[in-house]
Copies of this chain bind each other. A is one copy, B any other.
Amino acid sequence: MRPTVNDIAREAGVSLATVDRVLNDRPGVRAKTVQAVQDAIARIGYVRDVAAANLARQRDYRLAFVLPDTDSQFNRTLLDALAEAHRQSAMARTDVLLRRFAAEDPHALAGILAALPGAGVVGVALMAPETPVIRDAIRNLRQKGLAVVALVSDLPNTERDHFVGIDNRAAGRAAAVLIGRFLRPGPSRVMVLSDSMLLRESIERRLGFDEVMQGRFPQIEVLPSLETHGQAAVLHRVVTDCLAHSPDIGGIYILGTGQRALTTTLQHLGLTGRSVVLGHELTPHARAALLSGAMDVVITQNVGHLVRSALRVLRAKIDRVPFDLSQEQIRIEIVIRENLPDSL
């Protein structure tokens, strides 16, 4: 039988009320008594029944996901996963709010964040670039007792509780190894496409990529990143240009969005399947591209895990319960046609 609060009281020789005061940090207990209760807890191995506690507390975890309003495929799958998690969590007294902000407006974002405590939100998962304004906003949230996790894109210099996402530098290294080994031996060139080299993820992926390419595949020449600014037309132009000047491109590494634009451009040029193509994030289009052979490898993070991990971590932080770090580590998944999962 699991020990209960009553067992603590008996073991510590105090009343239930005192145990309750200690357990819930209520004032009016002498330090000595607190210690006695905590000793008793340790002795009998009491673990709070979180389910019962939340039931009694009438607690509905009010959590918020704050995401940019970009209309990328990745964002869409993220929203899908969130909706799914939301449906599932109808059973777990969790209420998930979604807040979207204009991607280029850090002040609007700060406003949204500032409004969360007033809305009764006790935990926030945030996907946003790090700016001074955001740093302050996060500090404020933490001071008001909210749990804050960074999602997908880390906010390392803020007071966020946790980061839910992958090590993008390692992802870039993995990309380099795969392209390097898939290319036939001998000199060749690799094209790198990115939305903008200002984004933290792009920079980190590129760093990891170059690291391995220089160290392990010196015969491969990596061209400077071509920036697409998320626009299909720009991508089409720069890729066409680049291939015109250097037709011997053996590999294409697409750091960010634009997979669809890339594969259609290659198809236009009749070059599908000619180079090793590696991209990030397993979107529906990436799935199709893997199946058709238009792409060779996708490096991805499981969006469902991402969302569920964020939810678990937030709940754990709010309950002040430790969590299993190794379970919350998001894997860098390598996906080829052969290990493509059935869904998502």
Contact = CB atoms under 8 A, between A and B. Distances in A.
Interface of A: 2, 47-52, 54-55, 84, 88, 90-93, 170-171, 173-174, 176-178, 181-182, 184-185, 208, 212, 299, 302, 304, 308, 321, 324-327, 329, 331-339, 341-344
A329 B176 CA distance: 28
Contact of A331 (B177, B302, B338): B302
B331 A334 contact: no
B177 A336 contact: yes
Nearest to A325: B343
Contact of A304 (B176, B308, B326, B334): B326
Contact of A185 (B177, B184, B335): B184
15 contacts: A2-B90, A51-B92, A51-B93, A55-B55, A173-B338, A174-B336, A177-B337, A177-B338, A178-B336, A212-B338, A302-B331, A325-B343, A329-B341, A333-B334, A334-B336
Copies in the complex: 2
Nearest to A324: B88
A333 B333 contact: yes
Nearest to A185: B184
Given A51-B51, A93-B51, A334-B334, A339 B88 contact: no
A329 B342 contact: yes
A299 B338 CA distance: 12
Contacts of A90: 2, 47
Contacts of A339: 170-171, 174, 299, 331-334
